[in-house]
Structure 1
Amino acid sequence: MSSYLAKQQAAFKSDAMSAAPKVATKRNLAPPAPESAPSPAPSNASNASKSESKDPKRKREVQNVVYSQPAATGYGMEAFTQVTYVIEFLKKKNEPKTFREILEYLSQVNADERQKRLIARILLQHERVYHTPDPNLKVQSWDSGTFEHKPIINVRTKKDLIAYLQTKADAQGVSVKDLKDGWPDCEDAIDQLEAEHKILVTRTKKDNHARMVWGNDPTLHHDVDSEFQVMWHEIELPSVDELVRKLQDAGQKPASEDPSKRIKAAPKPKEKKKRAPRRGGKTTNTHMAHLLKDFSHMKR
């Protein structure tokens, strides 16, 4: 029996010795990729074959791609940009222009008709553009008529400015910036009207440019003799402290009194509010009233 076990042990050792180099060769191979490393993306063909093999009923998604034209034309944004240039062009020229002349300025004469129609539609609906239909046509087309810049304030002469100020129902001034939108060189006319006392002007401190304009009545202006002006400036006025003292002696309150120097009354201390006595709740044990009476006064 012992010889049989010895043979088995020897056979096991020999098998282990023969298998050792094979195991070592397998272990020397490159280690597997870590779990965090991304696996290479399989091809579309392999993905499709796998998905079809797993789920034969599942249909492949069909992408609606049109190859006959670009996906994004950008006509809208480009048209609005072109309209901005058109408004500046009309403002500079200050006269009606046909749509053909506008296209020539934009170098868009040979552009796509769809883009031309979009520019014309934006101009027709723009609040800063005035469109005049063609009187020779009974039915207007999309590019007929003339286009003209529509300023914020439709004033271009001194006479127009005086008339516009006289028609204002409120006392709010007119911004010179809004006037320049339709009348770029209005500052010289404003200076002349101010010298004639027909308007009132407020100016910037830095550059002395006109900022706001109001209407004025020149009949209310009266020239004062220069001799009287000299006499007026030679009058010696009392000091401010003396004026305040005289007004206080007369029982009047001076307007130049410094409010910070007034004697303020001392603040009254806040009175603490007394807490109201707590009201008892509703008595529910009235049947035990004879047991809850206070009999302490009966003690000796």
Structure 2
Amino acid sequence: MSSYLEKQQAAFKTNVTSASSKITAKRTSLVPPAEAPSPAPSNTSNTSKTEKETKRKREVQQNVVYSQPAVTGYGTEAFTQVTYVIDFLKKKDEPKTFQEILMYLSQVHVEETKKKLIATILKRHDRVKWTADPQLKTQNWDSGTFRHQPLINVRTKKDLIAYLQIKPDAQGVAVKDLKDGWPDCEDAIDDLEAENRILVTRTKKDNHARMVWSNDPSLVHKVDPEFQMMWHKTELPTVDELVRKLMDAGQKPASEDPSKRVKAAPKPKEKKKKAPRKGGKFTNSHMAHLLIDYDKQRR
């Protein structure tokens, strides 16, 4: 019995030994020899790879879109925000609190330092009028209201007449400057012109008002229509006939008779004669033998 078990044990050991030798042989065959050198990459392959990479980078850069302001950072600076605020106040034409301005700019949740910078610029800007809060004894950096300050603070007919009357000079007022604070002022200008309260110059192409001046309606007098008809029916003498009648009456006309004007013949231009060249002092005496004048020795 024992001999049978011993034979089975010996056979099992033999099988295990043979199987382990086969597995190690397969693993060693899969490993490459250590002495075999690895193939080095060629220069042509490296250059082709770099060219492909540069082409890919160029394609990526060309496909980038720069139309979004948030990507480029446009509008983030304080002075740019102030420009938007002035346009906003100009369109609304009413006082706005600083909180309403921040809501318009979408800057409610930004840092307080940026808010203070915008408020400081607005208070010092010549196109913005800041009004303090009457309910506060001590004003805060964000208190009060802001309103657009136009070039000419005129918004009604009465304001326009008063502004023209207190002007220290006789220069006209440009309508484009009036529109800065009064965009729809043309209808009021037409009404005031019909009432003879202002004088207006207009463009030839569109007949739009361009400049306005103050006018006194008491100086305007209407002419009788019958007299106007008589005036237009009267035949006025010509300029030559007026001159002749004035001369016959012994009066000197304000202008000469254009038909009797004799134009003087143009004088020929005299050619200027060149003055003879005066001899000066010889400073280069070492070249005197080269500067001898031989014209007198000619026959």
| Partner residue in 1 for 2:186 | 187
Find the counterpart in structure 2 of residue 157 from structure 1: 156
For 2:87 and 2:236, locate their aligned partners in 1 and report how far apart those are by CA, in whole Å.
58
Q: Which has the higher helix share?
A: 2
Q: Structure 1's 161 and 257: CA in aligned 2 closer, same or farther, altered over 3 A?
A: farther
Q: Distance in 2 between matches of 1:91 and 1:256?
A: 61
How many residues align? The count is 220
Q: Indicate yes or no: 2:293 matched with 1:264.
A: no
Q: How does 1:1-300 map to 2 (within 5 A)?
A: 78-240=77-239, 242-243=241-242, 252=253, 254=255, 257=258, 263-270=263-270, 272=272, 275=275, 278=278
1:253 positional shift: 5.3
Q: What amino acid is the match of 1:126?
A: H
Secondary structure of 2:222's counterpart equals coil
Within 2, Cα distance between the matches of 1:262 and 1:169? 49
| Contact 1:200–1:215 (CA under 8 A) maintained in structure 2 | yes
SS at match of 1:182: coil
Identify if the C-alpha distance between structure 1 residues 111 and 262 changes in structure 2 by more than 3 Å, giving closer, same or farther.
farther
Question: CA–CA distance in 2 between the matches of 1:173 and 1:113?
Answer: 46
- 1:198 touches 1:217 (CA, 8 Å); kept in 2? yes
> Are the structure 2 counterparts of residues 106 and 126 from structure 1 closer, same or farther at C-alpha, using a change threshold of 3 Å?
same
**What residue in structure 2 maps to residue 27 of structure 1?**
none
Q: Distance in 1 between matches of 2:257 and 2:135?
A: 73
Q: Any idea what SS the aligned residue of 1:267 has?
A: coil
Q: 1:228 and 1:104, CA in 2 relative to 1: closer, same or farther beyond 3 A?
A: same
Residue identity opposite 1:177 in structure 2? K
Partner deviation per Cα, 1:160-207 (whole Å, 9 max, x = no partner):
111111111111100111111111121111111111111000111122
Distance 1:208 1:263, change over 3 A: same
Deviation at 1:255, TM superposition (A): 7.7
Deviation, 1:208, is: 1.3
Q: CA deviation at 1:79?
A: 2.3
What is aligned with 1:24? Answer: none
CA-CA distance at 1:141 after TM superposition = 2.2
Deviation at 1:271, TM superposition (A): 6.1
Task: In structure 2, list runs of 5 or more residues that go unmatched.
Answer: 1-42, 51-71, 283-299
| Contact 1:79/1:118 (<8 A) preserved | yes
**For 1:129 and 1:209, how far apart are their aligned partners in 2?**
29
Q: What amino acid sits opposite 1:270 in the alignment? A: E
Would the aligned equivalents of 2:79 and 2:118 in 1 still touch at CA under 8 Å?
yes
1:17-48 CA deviation, whole Å, 9 max, x = no partner?
Answer: xxxxxxxxxxxxxxx99xxx9xx9xxxxxxxx
**CA distance in structure 2 between the partners assigned to 1:252 and 1:199 by the alignment:** 37
The secondary structure found in structure 2 opposite 1:200 is strand
Q: Could you tell me how far apart the structure 1 residues matched to 2:268 and 2:76 are?
A: 69
Q: 1:115 to 1:255 in 2, by over 3 A?
A: farther
Equivalent pair of 2:98/2:145 in contact (CA under 8 Å)? yes
Partners in 1 of 2:90 and 2:143 — Cα distance? Answer: 20
SS at match of 2:151: coil
TM-score, scaled to structure 2: 0.62
Letter in 1 for 2:142: D
| CA distance 1:105–1:243, change in 2 (3 Å) | same
Q: Give me the whole-angstrom Cα distance separating, in 2, the residues matched to 1:167 and 1:230.
A: 40
Gaps spanning 5+ residues in structure 1: where? 1-31, 41-72, 283-300
Check whether the contact 1:75–1:115 (CA below 8 A) recurs between aligned residues: no
> 2-side partners of 1:148 and 1:159: how far apart?
21
Asked whether the equivalents of residues 248 and 254 of structure 1 are also in contact (C-alpha less than 8 Å), the reply is: no
Kindly indicate whether the alpha-carbon contact (under 8 Å) linking 2:240 and 2:258 is maintained by their aligned counterparts in 1: no
1:141/1:253 Cα in 2 relative to 1: closer, same or farther (>3 Å)? same
Per the normalisation by structure 1, the TM-score is 0.61
State the identity %: 67
Amino acid at match of 1:128: R
Distance verdict in 2 for CA 1:266–1:253, change over 3 Å: farther
TM-superposed deviation, 1:75: 8.8
Whether the 8 Å CA contact 1:98–1:144 is kept in 2: the answer is yes
